[in-house]
């Protein structure tokens, strides 16, 4: 047994703040409300339904995760956020069309009470979007100060003890870390000088960190995946994680690819195409936003298959990802994968995956888990990048120079071992020699 970390209790209210109150955010809020009212079950959420084995297999000690570590109770969550549209959470959920009207009408009151604060927004960073609910300020720093003020006001008005922030906003255009992202000092100068390499999502992230609010990035844009903001997170002792919720097609990829690799099956090609018709799909129809998503989706296979270490199997892999905006599909995306594999003596085979998924239904429990786990991490004084939460991301943030772990099963083991480690329990290696000694 190790030493249990000193973890503050989870009492009091937890505020979950979301920049971007569209399909994912409102599906998350409505879902939590439905669970609270006993109308639905929190399917897909590890914090609510997951279990964790402790000790030996013969001990039969498998508590629920929420009974093993101190997590905030669903009844103690307050929701808030920002959006460029003025719709309250009920109206936004109706427009998103993910959850049936009957269910939304049963929880209408609490949803209507959630109104978005004015957003930090600039059309230059999300070309296909524009709306009226936007802050004014003479530079990024002034806007960051306004967000900090929003955070403090929300905390006080709702009587929250603690806050977390999860970026559920649209995917911004592709930016690479540049000079201004290297140090906190350079970044703050950039905020004052309105540097174009700073995007709105970075302004929220900066404001959150300054207010010591843990931050998770659900989209593929950089947000706080830069040396400057990682440095700030460490300085402020705030836990952070990102990027890009791992939901439909990439979830499937990180389930299948580790299997092929484990059995030494080769891969010639993996063609992935998607059609979706929600606002996210419309935003991703812009090549610059798509580029952020493409980079995030493409990194996965290379990291799992390690073609340089396995050139005979994966050296010539052709990997292509397409996303097409097709309005009739709304939030119900269809993702097709054609996978060309080869086996013994190089004989080719094909696998076809046709995933008729519901994007926001898959993303909502991830928002919940990230909010609760980040709050737990903060109470355990874990700060900086939380790699154990890479389980939830397409493009996990990792230490500089360290390649991220994409294999869903390694990620799951890492997550559970981190929980055991914080609670001073033995880590599980699956060696199992003791059963045969």
Ligand X SMILES: NC(=O)c1ccc[n+]([C@@H]2O[C@H](COP(=O)([O-])OP(=O)(O)OC[C@H]3O[C@@H](n4cnc5c(N)ncnc54)[C@H](O)[C@@H]3O)[C@@H](O)[C@H]2O)c1
Minimum gap (Å) between residue 86 Cβ and ligand X: 10
- Among residues 244, 294, 375, 387, which is the contact residue for ligand X, using CB under 6 A? 244
Look at residue 298 and give its three-state secondary structure. Answer: helix
Give the contact letters, 150-169, x = binds to ligand X (CB under 6 A), - = no: ------------------xx
CB-nearer residue toward ligand X: 88 or 422: 88
What is the side-by-side strand order in the sheet with 160-167? 117-118, 77-83, 13-19, 160-167, 215-217, 239-242, 384-385
Letter string b/e over residues 378-403, b meaning 16 or more CB atoms within 10 A of that residue's CB: bbbebbbbbbbbbbbbbbbbeeeeee
Q: Which of 28, 68, 82, 388 binds ligand X (CB under 6 A)?
A: 82
Cα 339 from Cα 270, distance rounded (Å): 5
Residue 152 CB, shortest distance to ligand X, in Å, is 18
CA dist 427 → 93, 119, 284, 385, 424 (Å):
42, 44, 41, 21, 9
Please state the closest distance from residue 170 (CB atom) to ligand X, in A. 4
Q: Which is nearer to ligand X, 280 or 425 (CB)?
A: 280
Question: Which of 10, 14, 22, 226 touches ligand X by CB under 6 A?
Answer: 22
The verdict on 24 binding ligand X (CB under 6 A) reads yes
Alpha helices in 211-305 (DSSP H): 227-235, 249-262, 279-284, 287-305
List 16, 17, 33, 83, residue binding ligand X (CB under 6 A): 83
* Cα–Cα distance, 292 to 103 (Å, whole number): 34
Q: What are phi and psi of 190, to 5 degrees?
A: -60, -40
Query: Per rule CB under 6 A, is residue 368 in the interface with ligand X?
Result: no
Asked if 20 interacts with ligand X (CB under 6 A), we say yes
- Residue 308 to residue 77: CA distance in whole angstroms: 46
Q: Which is nearer to ligand X, 69 or 164 (CB)?
A: 164
Tell me how far apart the alpha carbons of residues 287 and 283 are, in angstroms, rounded to a whole number. 9
Site track for ligand X across 28-67, x = CB under 6 A: ----------------------------------------
Q: What is the DSSP letter of 428?
A: -
- Minimum Å distance from CB 73 to ligand X? 25
The region of 83-91, 182-190, 306-314, 343-351 touching ligand X under the rule CB under 6 A is 83-91
- Residue 119 binds ligand X, judged by CB under 6 A: yes
Residues 420, 54 contacting (CB under 8 angstroms): yes
Find the helix packing angle between 23-36 and 359-379, rounded to 10°.
70
| For ligand X, the closer CB: 49 or 173 | 173
Task: Quote the CA–CA distance of 19 and 170 in Å, as a whole number.
Answer: 9
Per rule CB under 6 A, is residue 120 in the interface with ligand X? yes
**Site for ligand X, rule CB under 6 A:** 19-24, 82-85, 96, 119-121, 126, 129, 131, 168-171, 200, 218-219, 244-245, 247-248, 278-280, 283, 359-360, 362-363
């Amino acid at each position: 047994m190790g030493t249990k970390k000193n973890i503050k209790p989870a009492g009091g209210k937890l505020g979950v703040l979301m920049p971007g109150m569209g399909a994912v955010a409102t599906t998350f809020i409505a879902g939590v409300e439905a669970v609270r009212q006993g109308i639905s079950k929190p399917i897909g959420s590890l914090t609510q339904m997951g279990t964790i084995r402790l000790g030996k297999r013969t001990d039969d000690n498998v508590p629920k995760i929420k009974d093993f570590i101190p997590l905030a109770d669903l009844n103690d969550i307050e929701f808030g956020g920002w959006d460029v549209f003025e719709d309250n959470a009920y109206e936004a959920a109706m427009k998103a069309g993910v959850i049936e009207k009957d269910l939304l009408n049963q929880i209408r009151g609490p949803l209507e009470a959630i109104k978005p604060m004015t957003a930090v927004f600039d059309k230059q960073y999300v070309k296909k979007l524009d709306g009226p609910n936007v802050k004014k300020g003479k530079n990024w720093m002034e806007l960051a100060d306004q967000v900090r003020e929003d955070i403090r006001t929300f905390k006080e008005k709702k009587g929250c003890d603690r806050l977390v922030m999860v970026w559920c906003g649209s995917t911004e255009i592709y930016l690479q870390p540049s000079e201004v992202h290297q140090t906190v000092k350079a970044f703050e100068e950039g905020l004052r000088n309105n540097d174009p390499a700073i995007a709105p999502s970075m302004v929220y992230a900066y404001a959150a960190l300054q207010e010591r609010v843990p931050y998770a990035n659900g989209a593929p844009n950089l947000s706080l995946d830069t040396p400057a903001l990682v440095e700030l997170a460490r300085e402020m002792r705030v836990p952070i994680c990102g990027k890009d919720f791992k939901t439909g097609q990439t979830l499937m990829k990180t389930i299948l690819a580790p299997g092929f690799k484990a059995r030494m099956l080769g891969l010639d090609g993996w063609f992935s195409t998607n059609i979706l018709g929600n606002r996210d799909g419309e935003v991703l129809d812009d090549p610059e936003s798509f580029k952020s998503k493409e980079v995030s989706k493409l990194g996965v296979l290379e990291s799992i298959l390690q073609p340089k270490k396995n050139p005979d199997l994966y050296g010539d892999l052709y990997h292509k990802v397409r996303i097409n905006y097709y309005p009739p599909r709304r939030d119900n995306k269809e993702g097709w994968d054609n996978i060309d594999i080869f086996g013994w003596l190089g004989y080719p085979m094909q696998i076809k995956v046709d995933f008729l998924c519901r994007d926001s239904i898959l993303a909502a429990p991830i928002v919940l888990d990230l909010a609760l786990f980040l709050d737990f991490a903060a109470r355990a004084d874990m700060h900086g990048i939380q790699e154990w939460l890479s389980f939830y991301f397409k493009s996990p943030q990792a230490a500089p120079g360290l390649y991220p772990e994409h294999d869903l099963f390694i990620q799951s083991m890492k997550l559970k071992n981190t929980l055991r480690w914080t609670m001073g329990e033995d880590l599980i290696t699956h060696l199992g020699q003791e059963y045969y000694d």
